């Protein structure tokens, strides 16, 4: 129970003496001495095993910056308010006009209404663009505030009325605007996406860290640049938000400012009706080592606090919960007064200084420019720590009749009277008819508002947001850099993972691209055999290495360094993914072409952080995702939650992601080299997902394998002469580590009198995408009947002259090889690994999932028997010799328990 001045009179003498003496120290010797004494007492108690829980995690429910420390406001506050009100109007008008048009495209008003003032203060005084001597701020807003940002760009003349009219209608003539900040759809405007709640926080934290990484490695000048992360209070419930804040303080990210717009509401209702979200967030951030600045009350309350000598007002504020505060924003003045004062006459006396109307508003700090300015200015000063600014606002502030209501988030329409009343309150000089229509309003170009707005942004380096890419192309290394992989491994057995690690090492040594390579691992470097890189490249640590590593005398010590190249993320896939995003977008954010290689257990990629991968696509991210230990049967032993047979299928759903499942080291070399060429030399906005395995086998030499086929997704690895009965022909498609089974099946089939060619399918996704693209073009051209068809899909052409039966075997779900079935010119049987994984040896797993050489051979024979080329007795004999049982449990539905 907190001790307040109001309680002191009633409390015991001993307590009063203690408080009076610390008060005297505070007054006479200052806060530092008072803190030192307090800490000493606390430490004394701790030493005696008396823990003072949450001693300082929460400060009182009031503004962190007292009136006497509030700086003078540097701008024309009234003019800024007028501009803000015009933005509020136009932002709302965008949504209302969309509603009136009957298209049902939707939009939100309430979020920006609550966050407008903090954004305007930021835009008028803080958010600075890149310049010759400044690194540039990266500002991520709340996605639902986008109408306000568009409205401002409209005032600046950057967006037309037509574009505003076409909010959420991106295909309209004259251009439209995306709902939320999507760099992919508006690449000259938005910089960072944020529409999936909670992802902007790890993104911003790791952007801040990556900026420091670039500075420590000499890839970027140390020239400032703040990362501003605006989030909603409801949004803070996403685990990615509080789950990643510790690293920000550990890494001393004083370039990071998180601002939480605490309007106490989320979509459905209150965020914490029974508690206080601001106090809860304060505890979390302070506990994680952040500076916390709270902005709770507006200036009007300062005079009340000045007469609150006994702390009764403060005590009442502590007592009221968010549900009460929300209720006050929708109740009448007398109702609020009665509820607020209760039976406390001392409180009634204080509140007498406010009218009912003033009380009704209980104006919150987030609508007071001076309070926000003071908080942001303090946040800018912070040294050595990230800062969280928690700002209390009203959701739907200024929306006539809906402020603070539970329906405000979804409110897309106001009736005529509400529109006119809101317009008038905002001082919009439009006629009643124009207000009813929700016309846009833009003041005269030479008027005070627009001149002021332009002058402020000029002083801060130009309009915001603005996405400009100024990054030199990086020539891709010659393929011969990977000579070792092209040459094959002879008799030595190795995995594609080992090949990858060797390639990474070569790339890091390369004079052109070496310093831009960013290896990222989530505590799995040893799993992938990357520990030799620790010594060679070092693990990035802002603090260097203050200890002697336990393995310092070995060849491969755990080496941390301020200029380390590897990002060791610990067991945090969300963080590692956010690092990937930061490194893969540095070409745009910093003009530095870093090339991330993020390697992880493939099952902990798409299904764990798939939304962040999607967000990478939105942010036009580049780089390589390496799904290690992949394949449902190749990762033996690990079992159900580790064996990935589906990431390739999910990868196919991300449009700008190219995905490959190479079998051989030379394929990997060709794909990686091509990826660097396309992403960093040609600067295409794509990224790569490559699955690599831990099964060791001899890697063949590339020989005359066609690089083009490897990149397009398929080529013939091994042709066989016709069998004695030439129609007994099969084509076996293998990929990844299942290639070894397919090659073995080729031999089995030879012994059974079937000639089989083996093809390596490096990417079903690339094959089917290309085929669908060509077919679509043909379709739109009217098909072959019109003679305007553009030809055949590549895979169809590749296989056009092949006869016989076709069998595909993949360590992924059957859906993957099935995706090319329309273009396979004969009977096509697919084998894949549908179902949950289980703990077994590789050999037994492949039989269980029916992708072993025996099943591949069997599938070819069964298909040939359908064609009348294998008779029943032969088939029965083969079933016996291959160990095929017709009544085996289906691994797609059954597990070991159902056998
Ligand atoms: C991952 C995710 N889940 C749900 C949503 C849907 N959604 C959009 S806004 C919103 C409420 C946001 O509340 P808050 O963060 O408090 O922001 P406010 O609008 O109140 O400022 C929800 C649930 C989303 N966009 N992303
Ligand atoms: Mg909210």
CA dihedral 710, 715, 720, 721 (to 10 degrees): -130
* Spatial separation of the C-alpha atoms in residues 18 and 31, rounded to whole Å: 16
- Is the pLDDT score of 508 beyond 70? yes
629-638 average pLDDT score: 95
The answer for residues whose C-beta is within 8 angstroms of residue 653's C-beta and 6 or more apart is none
pLDDT over 60 at 2, yes or no = no
For residue 261, give the ligand 1 atom closest to its CA.
21
pLDDT tens digit string along 858-871?
999 999 999 999 99
Q: Which residues pair with 715 in a beta bridge?
A: 760
**pLDDT score at 4:** 63
Mutation to probe ligand 1, out of 235, 364, 397 (largest number of atoms < 8 A from CB): 235
pLDDT at 16: 87
CA-CA distance, 163 to 823, in Å (whole number)? 43
* Closest approach atom of ligand 1 to CA 199: 1
For ligand 1, atom 4: residue with the closest CA: 197
Q: Express each pLDDT in 55-77 by its tens digit.
A: 678 999 999 999 999 999 999 99
Ligand 1: does its nearest atom lie under 6 Å from the Cβ of 196?
Answer: yes
Interatomic CA distance for residues 48 and 42, integer angstroms:
10
CA 541 – CA 586 distance, rounded (Å): 19
Q: Can you tell me the distance from the alpha carbon of 220 to that of 225, in angstroms, rounded to the nearest whole number?
A: 11
- Residue 834 pLDDT level (bands cut at 50, 70, 90): very high
DSSP-based three-state secondary structure for 259: strand
Residues 282, 392: contact at Cβ < 8 Å? Answer: no
Please name which ligand lies nearest the alpha carbon of 262.
2
678 CB-side CA count, 13 A = 19
| Distance (Å) from CA 663 to ligand 2 centroid | 50
For a pocket test of ligand 1, which of 141, 199, 234 has the largest count of ligand atoms closer than 8 A to its C-beta? 234
Residue 157, both tokens: 């003349």
Q: Rounded to two decimals, what is the model's pTM?
A: 0.95
- The tens digit of pLDDT for each residue in 270-281 reads 999 999 999 999
Largest Cα–Cα separation, the chain: 109
Q: What is the DSSP string of 415-478?
A: -HHHHHHHHHHTT----HHHHHHT------TTSHHHHHHHHHHHHTTS-SS---------PPPP
Is 46 a residue whose pLDDT tops 90? Answer: no
Q: Which residue lies with its CA nearest to atom 16 of ligand 1?
A: 234
Q: Ligand 1 centre and the CA of 194: distance in Å?
A: 11
CB-ligand 1 contact for 114 (6 Å cutoff): yes
CA atoms of 541 and 209, how far apart (whole Å): 10
Q: Given this model, what pLDDT does residue 358 score?
A: 76
Residues 6+ apart with CB under 8 A from 20: none
Print burial letters for 787-826: b (CB count within 10 Å at least 16), e (below 16): eebeeebbbbebbeeeebbbbbbbbbbbbbbbbbeebbbe
Q: How far is the CA of 270 from the centre of ligand 1 (A)?
A: 12
Which comes out higher in pLDDT, residue 480 or 383?
480
- Number of other residues whose CB lies within 10 A of the CB of residue 847: 20
User: At 142, phi and psi to the nearest 5?
Assistant: -70, 135
Ligand 1 pocket residue status of 646, Cβ below 6 Å = no
Q: Tell me the average pLDDT of the chain.
A: 95
Please give the Cα distance from 659 to 644 (Å, whole number). Answer: 15
Distance, CA 219 to ligand 1 centroid (Å)?
37
Mutation to probe ligand 1, out of 267, 394, 408 (largest number of atoms < 8 A from CB): 267
Say yes or no to pLDDT of 620 above 50.
yes
Residue 52: predicted pLDDT:
77
Contact by Cβ (8 Å): 699, 485: yes
Nearest to 567 by CA among 207, 127, 79: 207
> What is the per-residue pLDDT for 686?
98
Q: What is the pLDDT of residue 360?
A: 72
Spatial separation of the C-alpha atoms in residues 884 and 819, rounded to whole Å: 26
CA pair distance 592, 471, nearest whole angstrom: 6
pLDDT at position 5: 63
Q: Mean pLDDT throughout 422-436?
A: 97
What are 369-417's pLDDT values in tens digits? Answer: 999 999 999 999 978 999 999 999 999 998 888 989 999 999 999 999 9
Please state the rounded mean pLDDT for residues 486-511.
Answer: 97
Ligand 1 pocket check for 197: Cβ under 6 Å: yes
- Inter-CA distances, 808 with 65, 216, 346, 650, 842, Å: 68, 49, 82, 19, 19
- State what percent of residues in the chain have pLDDT above 70: 98
Measured from the CB, is residue 322 less than 6 Å from ligand 1? no
- What whole-number distance in Å separates Cα of residue 89 and Cα of residue 49? 59
Q: Is the pLDDT of residue 431 over 60?
A: yes
d(CA 846, CA 695): 13
Sheet with strand 687-691: strands edge to edge: 567-568, 517-521, 595-601, 624-628, 687-691, 657-660
Q: Which of 106, 178, 232, 236 to mutate to test the pocket of ligand 1 (most atoms within 8 A of CB)?
A: 232
Give the model's pLDDT for residue 70: 97
Confidence at residue 49, expressed as pLDDT on a 0 to 100 scale: 83
- Which residue, chain included where needed, has tokens 């005696």? 48
Sign for the pseudo-dihedral over CA of 891, 896, 898, 899: positive
- Residue found under tokens 């007994």: 728
Q: Which of 205-209, 356-360, 704-708 is the least confident region?
A: 356-360
β pairing state of 493-494 and 697-698: antiparallel
Ligand 1 pocket, residue 232 CB under 6 Å: yes
Task: Give the DSSP H/E element, type plus range, for residue 365.
Answer: none
Instruction: Please answer whether residues 736 and 664 qualify as being in contact, where contact means their C-beta atoms are separated by less than 8 angstroms.
Output: no
* 267 CA: nearest ligand 1 atom: 11
Tokens of 288: 């994680």
Is the shortest distance between the CB of 235 and ligand 1 below 6 Å? yes
Distances in Å between the Cα of 714 and the Cα atoms of 662, 717, 814 are 10, 9, 17
Q: Using a 6 Å cutoff on CB, does residue 142 contact ligand 1?
A: yes
Look at residue 422 and tell me whether its pLDDT is greater than 80: yes
Ligand 1 pocket member 615 (CB < 6 A):
no
CB 277 within 8 A of CB 322: yes
How far apart CA 580 and CA 609 sit, in angstroms, is 12
pLDDT value of residue 1: 44
Distances, alpha carbon 696 to alpha carbons 179, 611, 639, in Å: 49, 33, 19
With DSSP H G I counted as helix, E B as strand and the rest as coil, what are the percentages for the chain, rounded to 5? Answer: 45, 10, 45
* Residue 270 bridge partners (DSSP): 265
Average pLDDT over residues 502-515: 98
Which range has the worst mean pLDDT, 144-158, 231-245, 312-326, 570-584? 312-326
Separation of CA 464 and ligand 2 centre (Å):
24
Q: Ligand 1 centre from 211 Cα, in Å?
A: 28
**C-alpha to C-alpha distance for 638 and 326, rounded to whole angstroms:** 51
Closest atom of ligand 1 to CA, residue 233: 16
Separation of CA 554 and ligand 2 centre (Å): 53
Q: Which of 88, 75, 80 is nearest to 154 (CA)?
A: 88
pLDDT at 9: 62
pLDDT at 3 over 70: no
């Amino acid at each position: 129970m907190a001790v307040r001045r109001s309680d002191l009179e009633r409390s015991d003498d001993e307590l009063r003496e203690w408080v009076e003496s610390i008060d005297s120290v505070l007054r006479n010797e200052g806060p530092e001495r008072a803190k030192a004494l307090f800490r000493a007492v606390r430490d004394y108690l701790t030493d005696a095993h008396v823990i003072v829980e949450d001693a300082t995690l929460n400060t009182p429910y009031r503004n962190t910056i007292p009136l006497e420390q509030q700086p003078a406001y540097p701008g024309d506050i009234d003019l800024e308010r007028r501009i803000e009100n015009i933005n509020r109007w136009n932002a709302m008008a965008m949504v209302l006009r969309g509603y009136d048009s009957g298209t049902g495209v939707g939009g939100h008003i309430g979020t920006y209404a609550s966050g407008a003032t903090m954004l305007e203060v930021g835009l008028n005084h803080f958010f600075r663009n890149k310049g010759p001597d400044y690194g540039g701020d990266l500002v991520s807003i709340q996605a639902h505030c986008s109408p306000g940002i568009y409205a401002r760009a409209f005032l600046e003349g950057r967006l037309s009325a037509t574009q505003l009219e076409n909010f959420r209608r991106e295909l309209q003539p004259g251009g439209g605007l995306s709902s939320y900040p999507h760099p992919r759809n508006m690449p000259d405007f938005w910089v960072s996406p944020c529409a999936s709640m909670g992802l902007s926080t790890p993104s911003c934290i790791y952007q801040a860290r990556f900026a420091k990484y670039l500075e420590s490695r000499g890839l970027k000048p140390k020239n400032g640049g703040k990362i501003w992360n605006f989030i909603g209070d409801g949004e803070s419930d996403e685990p990615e938000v509080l789950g990643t804040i510790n690293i920000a303080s550990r890494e001393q990210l004083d370039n990071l400012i998180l601002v939480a717009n605490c309007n106490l509401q989320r979509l459905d209702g209150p965020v914490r009706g029974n508690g206080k979200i601001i106090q809860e967030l304060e505890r979390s951030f302070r506990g994680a080592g952040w500076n916390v600045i709270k902005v709770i009350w507006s200036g009007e309350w300062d005079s009340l606090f000045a007469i609150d000598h006994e702390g009764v007002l403060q005590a009442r504020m502590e007592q009221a919960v968010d549900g009460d505060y929300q209720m006050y924003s929708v109740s009448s003045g007398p109702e609020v007064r009665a509820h607020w004062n209760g039976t406390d006459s001392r409180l009634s006396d204080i509140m007498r200084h406010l009218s009912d109307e003033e009380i009704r508003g209980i104006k919150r700090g987030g609508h007071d420019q001076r309070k926000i300015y003071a908080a942001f200015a303090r946040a800018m000063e912070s040294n050595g720590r990230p800062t969280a600014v928690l700002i209390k606002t009203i959701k739907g502030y200024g929306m006539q009749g809906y402020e603070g209501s539970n329906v405000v988030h979804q409110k897309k329409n106001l009736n005529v009277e509400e529109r006119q009343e809101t317009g008038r309150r905002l001082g919009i000089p439009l006629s009643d008819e124009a207000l009813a229509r929700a016309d846009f309003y833009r003041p005269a170009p030479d008027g005070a508002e627009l001149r002021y707005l332009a002058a402020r942004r000029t002083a801060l380096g130009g309009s915001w947001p603005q996405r400009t890419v100024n990054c030199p192309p990086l020539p891709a290394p010659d393929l011969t850099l990977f000579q070792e992989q092209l040459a094959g491994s002879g008799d030595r057995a190795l995995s594609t993972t080992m090949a990858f690690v060797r390639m990474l090492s070569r790339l890091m040594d390369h004079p052109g691209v070496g310093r831009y390579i960013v290896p990222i691992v989530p505590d799995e470097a040893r799993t992938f055999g990357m520990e030799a890189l620790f010594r060679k490249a070092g693990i990035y640590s802002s603090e260097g290495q203050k200890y002697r590593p336990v393995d310092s005398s070995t060849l491969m010590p755990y080496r941390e360094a301020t200029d380390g190249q590897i990002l060791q993320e610990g067991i945090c896939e969300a963080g590692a993914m956010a690092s990937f995003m930061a490194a893969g977008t540095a070409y745009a954010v910093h003009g530095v072409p870093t090339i991330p290689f993020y390697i992880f257990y493939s099952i902990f990629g798409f299904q764990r952080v798939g939304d962040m991968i999607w967000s990478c696509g939105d942010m036009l991210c580049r780089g390589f995702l390496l799904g290690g230990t992949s394949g449902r049967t190749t990762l033996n032993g690990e079992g159900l939650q580790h064996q990935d047979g589906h990431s390739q299928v999910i990868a196919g759903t991300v449009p700008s992601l190219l995905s490959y499942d190479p079998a051989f080291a030379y394929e990997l070399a060709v794909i990686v080299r091509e990826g660097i060429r396309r992403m960093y030399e040609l600067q295409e906005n794509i990224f790569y997902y490559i699955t690599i395995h831990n099964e060791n086998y001899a890697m063949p030499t590339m020989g005359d394998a066609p690089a083009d086929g490897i990149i397009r997704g398929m080529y013939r690895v091994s042709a066989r002469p016709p069998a004695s009965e030439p129609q007994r022909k099969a084509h076996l498609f293998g990929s990844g580590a299942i290639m070894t089974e397919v090659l073995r099946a080729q031999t089995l089939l030879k012994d059974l009198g079937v000639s089989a060619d083996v093809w390596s399918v490096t990417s079903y996704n690339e094959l089917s995408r290309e085929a669908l693209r060509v077919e679509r073009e043909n379709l739109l051209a009217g098909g072959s009947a019109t003679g305007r068809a553009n030809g055949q899909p590549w895979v169809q052409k590749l296989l056009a002259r092949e006869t016989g039966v076709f069998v595909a075997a993949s360590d992924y779900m059957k859906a993957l090889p099935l995706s090319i079935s329309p273009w396979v010119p004969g009977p096509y049987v697919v084998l894949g690994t549908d179902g949950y994984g289980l703990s077994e040896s590789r050999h037994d797993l492949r039989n269980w999932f029916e992708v072993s050489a025996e099943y591949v051979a069997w599938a070819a024979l069964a298909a040939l028997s359908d064609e009348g080329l294998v008779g029943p007795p032969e088939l029965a004999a083969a079933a016996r010799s291959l160990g095929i049982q017709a009544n085996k449990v289906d691994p797609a539905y059954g597990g070991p328990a159902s056998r």
